Amino acid sequence: MTKIDTSKLKKRVPAKKNRFGEPPVITEAGENLEAPETAPKGDKKKARYKTGRTAQFSTRVTSDFLKEFKRQAFEDDLKIVELLEASFEAYKKIKR
């Protein structure tokens, strides 16, 4: 019986895996080159003073008045201070 000689046949060499994996493709590149050179400074302080309402205003009122006033502000989607300012404008008109 003829013995088949397979010694010349080469075995596949398994592809060696790179320990670092595959490099990222260009579509994975971010937008870092658009970022500012230095971190932008916060503008919080400016926002706080934007309205010009910087003075403290404090007074005592009855709890019923406070409740009603707050409810009105809430219903009309106003800040307490906005309702106060509107009230004062109305007062000035009546007084004239």
Partner 1 sequence: MGYVVAFLSQKGGVGKSTLARALACEASKGGLSVKVADLDTQQGTVTNWHRQREANGFDRIGSVETFGKAKEALKSADNFDMLILDGAPRASSATNDIAKVADLIILPSGASRDDLMPTVLLAHELSKKGVPSNLFAIALVRVATESEIRDAQEYIRMSGYQLLKGYLPEKPSYRQAQNDGLAVTETRYASINEKAKELIQSIIDVLTND
Q: How far is the CB of 14 from partner 1 (least distance, A)?
A: 16
Question: CA neighbours within 13 Å on the CB side: how many for 71?
Answer: 6
Q: Phi-psi bin for 52: left (phi > 0), alpha (psi -120 to 50), beta?
A: left
Q: How many residues form the binding site for partner 1 (CB under 8 A)?
A: 20
Q: How far is the CB of 13 from partner 1 (least distance, A)?
A: 16
At 71 the three-state DSSP class reads: helix
| Of 1 and 25, CB closest to partner 1 | 25
Site for partner 1 in 12-51 (CB under 8 A): 18-26, 28-38
Residue type, 27: T
- Footprint of partner 1 on this chain (CB under 8 A)? 18-26, 28-38
